[in-house]
C-alpha cells in the first residue's frame, strides 16, 4: 500500500515516528516529498517481510528509523538498526528483510541521465570500418600509445611498460577496439569485457578526466594509420563512438570506486 503525505516542493516538516504505521503483513509506504529531481519515502515493513532482489536506476539512500533487519547490497549483508545510513549506487542489486517491524526512509536522487544512443549512420560507418580495424588494429594502438606517452608523459606511471615493450598491451587494446566495432549495436555483448577492463582501470586509478586524453590520441592514431581511408565522416563517427564507450566505462568505474571506498 502506498499513501502520499506531500507531493510538492513546499516546505514540509514531520516527526517520522508519528508517521510510522505497520501493516499486519507486507509493506506500507508513504511518499514524504516528491518532485522532478528526487523522492523521499517512508517504508514500514511488518516483521518477516522480504523485498526480493531488485535494482534502481537512481542513486538511493536508506536511513533506518526503527526496528531491525538485513539489507543485502551487491552480495554484502548489512545489519539494519536505528540510525544506520546506507548509500546505494544506481543499478546496484539489493534486497531487504525485516526481522522485526522495520521503518526506514528511502531517498531517491535525480533520475540518471538517459543513455546516449548511437545513431544508425554512425553504427553503419563503424561496422564498415571494422575489417580495416582488424587488419591495422595493433598498428593503430601501438601508435596511440606512442602519441599519448609523448604528449602526456605523466600517464606512463599507470601502465605496465613491459607490456608496452612486448606488444601485449597494444594487442589487447586492438582486440577490444575491434570487438567494440563489431558489437557497437549490441553493447550488452561487451558486458564481460567492460567489467574486466573497468576493474583493471580502478586498480590503476584511471580517472574520468583521462578518457578525453585516450580518445584524442586514439583518433589521431586512426587518422595517421588509415590515411585516405580516414575520411571526415569516418573520424566523426569514431569520435562519437568513442565518447559513448568512454561514458560506459566512466559510469561503471565510478560504481566500482564507490563500492571499494564504502
Residues annotated as catalytic (active site), given as ranges: 211, 253
Let me know: does 25 contact 49? Beta carbons within 8 Å. Answer: yes
The residues near 93 (Cβ < 8 Å, ≥ 6 apart) are 53, 54, 55, 73, 74, 75
Q: Can you say whether the dihedral through the CA atoms of 217, 254, 201, 186 is positive or negative?
A: negative
Eight-class DSSP state of 210: G
Handedness of CA 254, 151, 231, 174 (dihedral sign): negative
Closest CA to 219 of 253, 250, 252, 243: 243
The three-class DSSP label of residue 104 is: strand
- List Cα–Cα distances, 24 to 47, 50, 51, 65, 101, in angstroms: 9, 14, 16, 19, 10
Amino acid at each position: 500500500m502506498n499513501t502520499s503525505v506531500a507531493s510538492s516542493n513546499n516546505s514540509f516538516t514531520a516527526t517520522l515516528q508519528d508517521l510510522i504505521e505497520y501493516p499486519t503483513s507486507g509493506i506500507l509506504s508513504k511518499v514524504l516529498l516528491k518532485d522532478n529531481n528526487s523522492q523521499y519515502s517512508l517504508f514500514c515493513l511488518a516483521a518477516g517481510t522480504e523485498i526480493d532482489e531488485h535494482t534502481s536506476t537512481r542513486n538511493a539512500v536508506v536511513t533506518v528509523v526503527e526496528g531491525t533487519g538485513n539489507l543485502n547490497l551487491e552480495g554484502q549483508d548489512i545489519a539494519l538498526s536505528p540510525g544506520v545510513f546506507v548509500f546505494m549506487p544506481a543499478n546496484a542489486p539489493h534486497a531487504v528483510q525485516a526481522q522485526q517491524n522495520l521503518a526506514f526512509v528511502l531517498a531517491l536522487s535525480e533520475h540518471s541521465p538517459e543513455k546516449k544512443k548511437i545513431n544508425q549512420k554512425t553504427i553503419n560507418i563503424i561496422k564498415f570500418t571494422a575489417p580495416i580495424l582488424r587488419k591495422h588494429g595493433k598498428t593503430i594502438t601501438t601508435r596511440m600509445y606512442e602519441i599519448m606517452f609523448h604528449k602526456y608523459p605523466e600517464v606512463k606511471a599507470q601502465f605496465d611498460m613491459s607490456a608496452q615493450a612486448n606488444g601485449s598491451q597494444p594487442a589487447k587494446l586492438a582486440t577490444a577496439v575491434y570487438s567494440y566495432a563489431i558489437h557497437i549495436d549490441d553493447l550488452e555483448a561487451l558486458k564481460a569485457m567492460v567489467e574486466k577492463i573497468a576493474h583493471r582501470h580502478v586498480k590503476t586509478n584511471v580517472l574520468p578526466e583521462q578518457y578525453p586524453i585516450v580518445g584524442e590520441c586514439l583518433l589521431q592514431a586512426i587518422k595517421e594509420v588509415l590515411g585516405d581511408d580516414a575520411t571526415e565522416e569516418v573520424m566523426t563517427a569514431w569520435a562519437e563512438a568513442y565518447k559513448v564507450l568512454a561514458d560506459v566505462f566512466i559510469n561503471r568505474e565510478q560504481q566500482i570506486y564507490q563500492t571499494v571506498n564504502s
